[in-house]
Structure 1
Amino acid sequence: MTLGFISRHRTTAAIVGAAALAAAGAVISTGSASAATTAGGSSSHAFTNRGHGYMPELANWKAAQKGARHTSGTLTYGGGTGGVGVMDVQPKVYLVFYGSQWGTQGTDANGNLTFSNDPYNAAPVAQNLFKGIGTGGEQWSGTMTQYCDGAGVTKGATTCPAGSSHVPYPSNGVYAGVWYDNTAASPAQATGNQLGVEALNAAHHFGNTTSAANRGAYYVILSPHGTNPDNYQSTTTGFCAWHDYNGDSTLTGGAVTSDVGNFAFSNQPYNMDAGANCGVNFINSGTSGTLDGWTMTLGHEYSETVTDQFPAGGWTNPSNGQENADECAWLKTGTGAAGSVTMGNGTYTLQGSWSNDTNGCALTHPTVG
């Protein structure tokens, strides 16, 4: 599921404690809330109805690891959902700023939308990140290109045969458009279904009204400061974001009926509200690190969407349901740990992803296919 780390009415002491854990690099094991590991070492689906690519908040993540090491391992192909496993066409990322609480819209010098109720200036950074992916020769995207679907790829496969369709290297960026939907306020606590309906609205807004048009489309639903989409601020199952598709019946509120075919989308809370539990200053200190977790989360969900577009038809760990970014989440040290990735328009804090062909996490990787 997703990269997540947030608290609900967390006390100051708890937040400071989580920050200390992060600063100490205490969270160095890998895993996913898709199947949180219990103290006894067994797999427990404690974090259900949260979309896929979901990772619990830092404090909950540490608790899930107590008494057990959550191991990473080889990903296998899930057989496809409606014939779709990976995003084997050029990804097109559409950003949706959901709800009038974002405030008054403006535009910065780079043509990015800005908002008066965006205290961390996160909106233009999100736009720049997706404009940057696939540019400047960055190799963060290379890890995802080893995964495939199509001809000859059977369920349970761990490698891609000749003739299969790989996730392409996203040359010239993946950013496809932005929409400020201020027709109404975003719900104080939007359900997964409501977020999916907003993604459906976005598909219509951008003119993606067929299955073919949505084959490479990914809708990032960005909720405003002060909201709690899908109860991400829960003290027991807190998270930072997740990705999913409209047909998932386990979405809170149920699956989304679509007239445009299946589509991929994500729940991106304004997770700086969570502080260190959602990665504020995870790598960098001071103001420069405020959006560490924001860009890590956005990258985490994107990388999992292109490798498991309609979960779980793509590539996951069969033993625990983890996706590629889940397996490498919250790594501060070692091979594939989170770090700075330079793209054509700047440098961003991102996390690594699991690489089957090197049997480990990788922050960068040569293009495959």
Structure 2
Amino acid sequence: MRIRMPGTVARSLVAVSLAALGAAGFAGGANAAPAAPVAAHHGVKPITKGAVHVATTAGSRNTLTVRSNGTQGVVSPTPQVYLVFWGSQWSNDPAGVAPDLQNMFKGLYGSADTWGTILTQYCEGVASGTSNCGTSGTHITHPATSPLAGVWFDNAAAAPSSATTSQIAGEAANAAAHFGNTTQAPNLNAQYVVVSPTGTHPDNFPSSNFCAWHDKTSSSYGTLAYTNLPYVPDLGVDACTTLTDGRMLSGIESTETHEYAETVTDFWPSIGWNGRNGEIGDECENMDAFVPLSTGSFDLQGLWSNKANACVTKG
């Protein structure tokens, strides 16, 4: 499934990111500025470098509506995240991405997590075009325990230096088998986050000018939701976030919360929740906040709330 690039917000961000990355270069890559993003996948978060704040005007153009009356694959009612650290190269993790992502997801539940509650207003099993679920349909539930369902360091072989889309999707299917999710039923809530190691270029990262994207793939175990998450710290400090806190990990935290929320609300894209500017995270790429959870403080990207008619970082 394919989708357009995000709207004017994304185009503004891209213009700034090209200039910034052209000056900054890429650790392990060429110094030339990357090309414009390839509109190939869903929830494509374009690369930014430094504080980029673009005004988002609240109104009907931002409102998310559900694109299907289906009762499965529209949203993920009880989110389950599987982190897949792909390749033997994970013996080298200079920014500490692996422990950081695990700690972030271990904290995204319960009363300490006021960010995840934004998602509970969205549902499946209602008429296509619905913008307010009310008490109808099956709502996304706020996790009472950590949504981190499994972690796999797939280190039997090296991850490809420049993995193709089909190879990334294949690794998601390998993960489904590894975790025993071999029928469609458990994969109605499972999302596989395929994290590539430092120095690699999955789907031509960063030359295609994306921080990450999510999509779906057909497999022997049913339709799978998965994310292509490159080693964002390779871009340097303050990339893929609007914060300028000097942390190497802020960008990958912002990026993965963008993709996580979009997968939860548009599970098998694009039959879930979308607006004119894209999905729930595409709407709010100009907003980041350093949010305390029970496991530490993390850079969580803002999400569009129909209820608030605005980008928010708290439900």
TM-score band, normalised by the shorter chain? Answer: 0.7 to 0.9
SS in 1 for 2:308: coil
SS in 1 for 2:42: coil
2:313 pairs with 1:323? no
1:48 to 36, 39, 42: 39
Paired letter, 2:313: L
1:145 to 113, 116, 120: 120
Structure 1 pair 277–54 and aligned structure 2 pair: CA distance change class (3 A):
farther
2:208 pairs with 1:265? no
Contact 2:46 2:240 in 1 (8 A): no
1:230 to 188, 191, 203: 203
Task: Write the distance in 2 (CA, Å) between the matches of 1:70 and 1:198.
Answer: 39
Paired letter, 1:138: D
Q: Which residue in 1 is equivalent to 2:32? A: none
Task: Write the distance in 1 (CA, Å) between the matches of 2:258 and 2:203.
Answer: 18
Task: Write the distance in 2 (CA, Å) between the matches of 1:80 and 1:291.
Answer: 38
SS in 1 for 2:252: helix
SS in 2 for 1:241: strand
Task: Write the distance in 1 (CA, Å) between the matches of 2:270 and 2:261.
Answer: 14
CA drift at 1:135: 3.5
SS in 2 for 1:263: strand
SS in 1 for 2:46: coil
Q: Which residue in 2 is equivalent to 1:97? A: 85
Q: Which residue in 2 is equivalent to 1:85? A: 74
Contact 1:341 1:350 in 2 (8 A): yes
Task: Write the distance in 2 (CA, Å) between the matches of 1:54 and 1:228.
Answer: 16
Q: Which residue in 2 is equivalent to 1:300? A: 258
Q: Which residue in 2 is equivalent to 1:352? A: 302
Q: Could you give the per-residue CA deviations for residues 255-302 of structure 1, whole angstroms, max 9, x where no partner exists? A: xx411111111001001111256237x42534xx22111111111111
CA drift at 1:13: 5.6
CA RMSD of superposed structures (Å): 2.9
Contact 1:136 1:343 in 2 (8 A): no
Paired letter, 1:325: G
SS in 2 for 1:309: coil
Paired letter, 1:172: T
Q: Which runs of 5+ in 2 are unaligned?
A: 27-35
Paired letter, 1:260: Y
Structure 1 pair 205–174 and aligned structure 2 pair: CA distance change class (3 A):
same
Contact 2:305 2:311 in 1 (8 A): yes
1:291 to 216, 239, 249: 249
Report % sequence identity. 42
**Structure in which a larger fraction of residues adopt strand:** 2
Aligned residues: 291
Q: Which runs of 5+ in 1 are unaligned?
A: 16-35, 37-45, 104-116, 247-256, 332-337
2:228 pairs with 1:278? no
Task: Write the distance in 1 (CA, Å) between the matches of 2:71 and 2:105.
Answer: 27
CA drift at 1:353: 0.2
